[in-house]
Chains A and B, each alone.
Chain A
Amino acid sequence: MTFTLILEQTFNGLQAGVTLFLVAAGLTLILGIMDFVFLAHGSQVMIGAYAAAAITLATGNFYLGVLLAIPVTFASGYLLEYLIIRHLYRRDHMEQVLATFGLILFFNEAIRVSFGPAALFSDLPPSLSGFVEILPATPYPAYRLGVIVVGLLCAVGIHLLVSRTRIGAMVRAGANNPEMTAALGINIKILFRFIFATGACLAGVAGMMLGPLTAVQPGMGEPLLILSLVVIIIGGIGSVRGAFVAAIIVGLVDTLGRVFLPAILRLFVEQATADGAGPALASMLVYILMAVVLIFRPTGLFPAKG
């Protein structure tokens, strides 16, 4: 029984971890390579979720919704970079914070105006709403398993793209030294736009997959944005590998901590105290983890620059 629970929660943690990775992968490059504080990355999650939910509701086909939403998120990232972001690369960090904060306000309100303040719900297709036995007599929701598989496939794809292709070599060179990369004749402007749009697309995919699991509503990407910032700090800014490791760690620690920490505390202190302190401590766990990493490795686990 407890083993089943641990296994199930570990899978939930993995699912949270890969979703976080999809958000953090693009963001870590935007922060690391472009040295740009982009807070509106959570809005890309929301745009992806809304695009998928709206198309699914219109066509009645979940797969079509997801498939058509992917180019929408890519286009939104591309346009955003072209219209606004590229004018802000040379500004200082605080101005970037403010401008992208303004973008968040705009996107949240624009979504509220066009879709209403209430959450959208889209049903899963029958093929995904069942359960899969991950071990004999241990059923697990097929959809969540699908999210893990898609997330891992994306991670492998990003890894191959970054480590095996010409574009990936440019990205790595850009992460290490943008000026030198530009001096070697690489069109850094186009590279930036490509990274930005791809990052937006990945965040959008995270949003699409989260849609059926949580409520699709304005501001839904913001908690994910903050957690992915924690992931990026732990993994090291600009490092996709660091983002993956840290995302899995954060996903597991957060999920397992919330479930098991109150029970573990109960072993050491009396029940009332444990029930009070457990959830409080669990909600702080990933931030404490971040603080510990900072004390021992201020540049994260896998620093990209060096």
Chain B
Amino acid sequence: MSGLSHFLILASDGMKANRLFWLLIAGFALFPIFTHFADLPFWNDVAMRIMLLGMAAMGLNLVLGYGGMVSFGHAAFIGIGAYCVGIGEFYGLTNGWAHILLGIIVCGLMGLVIGYLALRTSGIYFIMITLAFAQMLFFLFVSLEQFGGDDGMSIDRAEFGFIDLYNPLRLYFLIWVILALVGLGLMFIVHSRFGVTLRAIKSNESRIEAMGLEPLQFKITGYVVSAVICGLAGVLFANWQEYVSPDIMHWTRSGELMIIIILGGLGTLAGPLLGAIVFLLLEESLPIMLGTVAPAYAENWMIIFGPLLIMVVMFGRGGLVGLLAAQRQSKNNPKRDKAGQ
């Protein structure tokens, strides 16, 4: 009984500390009501994509933001998760819960192998090795002709027992529930002994070693957990897209995940989700904005987005979460802020 109350106290404390994240989650729960009355069903689709990319970015954030490991290959785990659905169905496995279980196991194992090999190195080597392993898996799926090769394979939405994903909004809320659970899980992980150690390794690895702990074990564990979260996002992604091809694990997607985290705020719970919102809204609105100025070039919005990204890196620090926090602080403490300058 005391275990439960302890859990509830921890959860409510965590919710207070991560108010922004839970506000966003609540917003996503209410969003379909808005799209229903505003008659904008297309935006449910955008919201699902935001939640999926946000979930994957939250997974990556565990190693990137909290652990300081710059993995440039996490799209591979999204791909593996998605192919667990595709290949599972190919062999007659149509149960969605089984896909999720399979995705968790396979991504966990792949994360263990890649993490074990890549974490022997650090710095630039680590970035390039994670990228190279992701490319290896990309080319593996390109060359697997029996699973569609380059063209990919189409997928029927999986059977989740009593939840029929072909009913409108069922998939939306399945994604929503899993996103909230992942957020809850990450909240506990980050504040657990393991999470604190992981963050301590980021700031000073040799000190952790001096304390008699083995940093590599913590780093590999973190890597596996983040791979599993990306895999979960991949399983759901395949169901949302009703299609899977190697494109889902293209290396530019690993870059996108990083952009999302940086935009939102590194090493925060709300950051990746906020970043995903901004990223996908930019992706939707830049072509429209460009189209009104120069209609012929509407689809070349990347020509604006690329330099925008460089500007964010050059001038923006701490992402949107940092920006919001700074603003709140200066509102609460206008004097101290002025004195600080």
**B-binding residues in A (CB < 8 A):** 31, 35, 37, 84, 87-88, 91, 93-95, 97-99, 101-110, 112-113, 222, 226, 229-230, 232-233, 237, 276, 279-280, 282-284, 287-288, 290-291, 294-295, 298-299
Contact = CB atoms under 8 A, between A and B. Distances in A.
A98 B145 CA distance: 33
A103 B312 CA distance: 13
5 contacts: A106-B302, A284-B140, A294-B121, A295-B120, A298-B120
Contact of A226 (B135, B146, B307, B314): B135
A229 B132 contact: yes
Contacts of B302: 105-106, 108-109
B262 interface: yes
Interface of B: 64, 70, 72, 117, 120-121, 123-125, 127-129, 131-133, 135-136, 139-140, 142-146, 251-252, 255, 258-259, 262, 297, 300, 302-303, 305-310, 312-314
Contacts of A31: 124, 128
A94 B313 CA distance: 9
B14 to A, nearest CB: 26
Contacts of A97: 70, 72, 127, 255, 258
Contact of A106 (B131, B136, B303): B303
Given A101-B255, A104-B306, 7 more contacts: A93-B127, A105-B302, A226-B132, A283-B136, A291-B117, A295-B120, A298-B120
Contacts of A94: 64, 70, 258, 262
A102 B145 contact: no
Contacts of A280: 140, 143-144
A87 B255 contact: no
A233 B129 contact: yes
What 7 A-B pairs are tightest by C-beta distance, nearest first? A106-B306, A102-B309, A287-B136, A105-B306, A109-B303, A283-B139, A109-B302
Nearest to A230: B132
A35 B307 CA distance: 22
Q: Most chain-A CB neighbours within 10 Å: which of B128, B258, B259? A: B128
Identify whether the interface residues of B are mostly helix, strand, loop, or mixed.
Answer: helix
Contact of A102 (B72, B120, B308): B308
Contact of B125 (A91, A103, A110, A237): A237
A103 B128 contact: no
A32 to B, nearest CB: 8
Contacts of B314: 87-88, 99
Contacts of A93: 70, 123-124, 127
Given A113-B300, A280-B140, A283-B142, A233 B125 contact: yes
Nearest to B311: A102
A88 B139 CA distance: 32
A110 B123 CA distance: 31
B309 A98 contact: yes
A98 B142 CA distance: 26
B309 A232 contact: no
B262 A102 contact: no
